[in-house]
Amino acid sequence: MTYRVCFVCTGNICRSPMAEVVFRARVAEAGLDGLVEVDSAGTGGWHEGDGADPRTVAVLEENGYACGHTARQFQPSWFARLDLVVALDTGHLRALRRLAPTEQDAQKVRLLRSYDPAAGDDLDVPDPYYGGADGFEECLEMVEAASAGLLAAVREGVEGQAA
Protein backbone atom coordinates (compact mmCIF):
# COMPACT_ATOMS: atom_id res chain seq x y z
CA MET A 1 0.00 0.00 0.00
CA THR A 2 1.31 3.45 -0.94
CA TYR A 3 1.78 6.17 1.70
CA ARG A 4 0.78 9.52 0.17
CA VAL A 5 2.21 12.91 1.19
CA CYS A 6 1.19 16.29 -0.24
CA PHE A 7 3.04 19.54 0.49
CA VAL A 8 0.92 22.71 0.38
CA CYS A 9 1.81 26.40 0.16
CA THR A 10 -0.06 29.37 -1.32
CA GLY A 11 0.34 29.18 -5.09
CA ASN A 12 2.32 25.94 -5.54
CA ILE A 13 5.22 27.61 -7.34
CA CYS A 14 7.82 28.26 -4.59
CA ARG A 15 7.79 26.49 -1.24
CA SER A 16 5.66 23.40 -1.81
CA PRO A 17 7.30 22.33 -5.10
CA MET A 18 10.67 22.81 -3.40
CA ALA A 19 9.57 20.61 -0.50
CA GLU A 20 8.15 18.04 -2.92
CA VAL A 21 11.38 17.79 -4.90
CA VAL A 22 13.62 17.61 -1.83
CA PHE A 23 11.44 15.07 -0.06
CA ARG A 24 11.09 12.91 -3.16
CA ALA A 25 14.92 12.77 -3.25
CA ARG A 26 15.02 11.76 0.44
CA VAL A 27 12.41 9.04 -0.17
CA ALA A 28 14.48 7.69 -3.08
CA GLU A 29 17.71 7.78 -1.02
CA ALA A 30 15.92 5.82 1.72
CA GLY A 31 14.82 3.15 -0.78
CA LEU A 32 11.14 3.93 -0.23
CA ASP A 33 10.42 4.90 -3.86
CA GLY A 34 7.66 2.40 -4.51
CA LEU A 35 6.11 2.84 -1.07
CA VAL A 36 5.78 6.63 -0.78
CA GLU A 37 4.11 9.00 -3.24
CA VAL A 38 5.03 12.69 -2.96
CA ASP A 39 3.29 15.66 -4.56
CA SER A 40 2.34 19.28 -3.87
CA ALA A 41 -0.40 21.84 -4.37
CA GLY A 42 -1.43 25.37 -3.44
CA THR A 43 -4.28 26.69 -1.34
CA GLY A 44 -5.13 28.99 -4.26
CA GLY A 45 -5.38 28.40 -7.97
CA TRP A 46 -3.74 31.57 -9.32
CA HIS A 47 -0.78 29.69 -10.82
CA GLU A 48 -2.54 26.47 -11.89
CA GLY A 49 -0.79 25.01 -14.92
CA ASP A 50 2.37 27.11 -14.43
CA GLY A 51 5.81 25.70 -13.74
CA ALA A 52 7.71 26.38 -10.54
CA ASP A 53 9.06 29.89 -10.02
CA PRO A 54 12.37 30.21 -11.93
CA ARG A 55 14.14 31.11 -8.67
CA THR A 56 12.88 27.89 -7.08
CA VAL A 57 14.14 25.91 -10.07
CA ALA A 58 17.52 27.70 -9.96
CA VAL A 59 18.08 27.07 -6.23
CA LEU A 60 17.06 23.44 -6.59
CA GLU A 61 19.32 22.86 -9.61
CA GLU A 62 22.26 24.65 -7.92
CA ASN A 63 21.88 22.13 -5.09
CA GLY A 64 21.64 19.02 -7.24
CA TYR A 65 17.87 18.58 -7.46
CA ALA A 66 15.96 18.13 -10.72
CA CYS A 67 12.67 20.01 -10.91
CA GLY A 68 9.78 19.29 -13.25
CA HIS A 69 6.57 20.77 -11.86
CA THR A 70 3.09 21.98 -12.79
CA ALA A 71 1.16 24.03 -10.22
CA ARG A 72 -2.28 22.96 -9.08
CA GLN A 73 -4.78 23.82 -6.36
CA PHE A 74 -5.43 21.53 -3.40
CA GLN A 75 -8.91 19.97 -3.42
CA PRO A 76 -10.77 18.85 -0.26
CA SER A 77 -11.60 15.53 -1.95
CA TRP A 78 -7.88 14.68 -1.87
CA PHE A 79 -7.98 14.14 1.90
CA ALA A 80 -9.57 10.73 1.31
CA ARG A 81 -6.48 9.43 -0.51
CA LEU A 82 -3.76 11.28 1.41
CA ASP A 83 -2.03 10.03 4.55
CA LEU A 84 -0.24 13.29 5.36
CA VAL A 85 -0.79 16.90 4.25
CA VAL A 86 2.24 19.07 5.00
CA ALA A 87 1.59 22.81 5.32
CA LEU A 88 4.45 25.25 4.82
CA ASP A 89 3.12 27.87 7.26
CA THR A 90 0.43 28.35 9.89
CA GLY A 91 -1.86 30.16 7.45
CA HIS A 92 -1.83 27.09 5.20
CA LEU A 93 -2.33 24.85 8.22
CA ARG A 94 -5.48 26.74 9.23
CA ALA A 95 -6.82 26.90 5.66
CA LEU A 96 -6.28 23.17 5.10
CA ARG A 97 -7.87 22.20 8.40
CA ARG A 98 -10.91 24.31 7.49
CA LEU A 99 -11.13 22.48 4.13
CA ALA A 100 -10.91 19.05 5.78
CA PRO A 101 -14.22 17.18 5.44
CA THR A 102 -13.76 15.38 8.78
CA GLU A 103 -11.84 15.82 12.03
CA GLN A 104 -9.78 12.76 11.07
CA ASP A 105 -8.80 14.52 7.82
CA ALA A 106 -7.91 17.70 9.73
CA GLN A 107 -5.52 15.66 11.87
CA LYS A 108 -3.59 14.69 8.72
CA VAL A 109 -2.39 18.30 8.35
CA ARG A 110 0.99 19.10 9.91
CA LEU A 111 3.52 21.92 9.63
CA LEU A 112 6.73 20.99 7.80
CA ARG A 113 9.04 22.60 10.33
CA SER A 114 7.41 20.68 13.18
CA TYR A 115 9.63 17.83 11.96
CA ASP A 116 12.79 19.91 12.58
CA PRO A 117 13.76 19.85 16.28
CA ALA A 118 16.04 22.88 15.73
CA ALA A 119 13.13 25.03 14.49
CA GLY A 120 11.95 25.83 18.01
CA ASP A 121 8.72 27.84 18.04
CA ASP A 122 9.26 29.36 14.58
CA LEU A 123 7.48 26.78 12.45
CA ASP A 124 6.69 28.87 9.36
CA VAL A 125 8.71 28.63 6.17
CA PRO A 126 8.61 32.28 4.98
CA ASP A 127 7.29 32.94 1.48
CA PRO A 128 10.29 33.90 -0.67
CA TYR A 129 8.17 35.06 -3.65
CA TYR A 130 8.48 38.83 -3.12
CA GLY A 131 12.17 38.78 -2.21
CA GLY A 132 15.49 37.87 -3.76
CA ALA A 133 17.42 34.64 -4.27
CA ASP A 134 18.53 34.55 -0.62
CA GLY A 135 14.92 33.89 0.46
CA PHE A 136 14.78 30.85 -1.81
CA GLU A 137 18.08 29.60 -0.41
CA GLU A 138 16.77 30.05 3.15
CA CYS A 139 13.60 28.19 2.16
CA LEU A 140 15.67 25.28 0.83
CA GLU A 141 17.71 25.15 4.04
CA MET A 142 14.51 24.95 6.13
CA VAL A 143 13.01 22.29 3.87
CA GLU A 144 16.16 20.17 3.97
CA ALA A 145 16.44 20.54 7.76
CA ALA A 146 12.89 19.26 8.27
CA SER A 147 13.17 16.42 5.75
CA ALA A 148 15.03 13.98 8.00
CA GLY A 149 12.39 14.15 10.74
CA LEU A 150 9.59 14.00 8.19
CA LEU A 151 11.19 10.95 6.57
CA ALA A 152 11.35 9.21 9.95
CA ALA A 153 7.63 9.92 10.53
CA VAL A 154 6.70 8.74 7.04
CA ARG A 155 8.79 5.59 7.47
CA GLU A 156 6.78 4.85 10.64
CA GLY A 157 3.58 5.40 8.68
CA VAL A 158 4.72 3.06 5.92
CA GLU A 159 5.67 0.39 8.44
CA GLY A 160 2.32 0.87 10.20
CA GLN A 161 0.49 0.27 6.93
CA ALA A 162 2.49 -2.89 6.31
CA ALA A 163 1.73 -4.30 9.79
Q: Which residues are catalytic?
A: 9, 15, 127
Give helix 15-29 / helix 54-62 axis angle, nearest 10°. Answer: 30
Do you know the residue count of the chain? Answer: 163
d(CA 18, CA 35): 21
Instruction: Please answer whether residues 36 and 158 qualify as being in contact, where contact means their C-beta atoms are separated by less than 8 angstroms.
Output: yes
Which residues touch 96 (CB under 8 Å, ≥6 apart)? 8, 43, 74, 85, 87, 106, 109
Among candidate residues 136, 117, 120, 137, the one with its CA nearest the CA of residue 128: 136
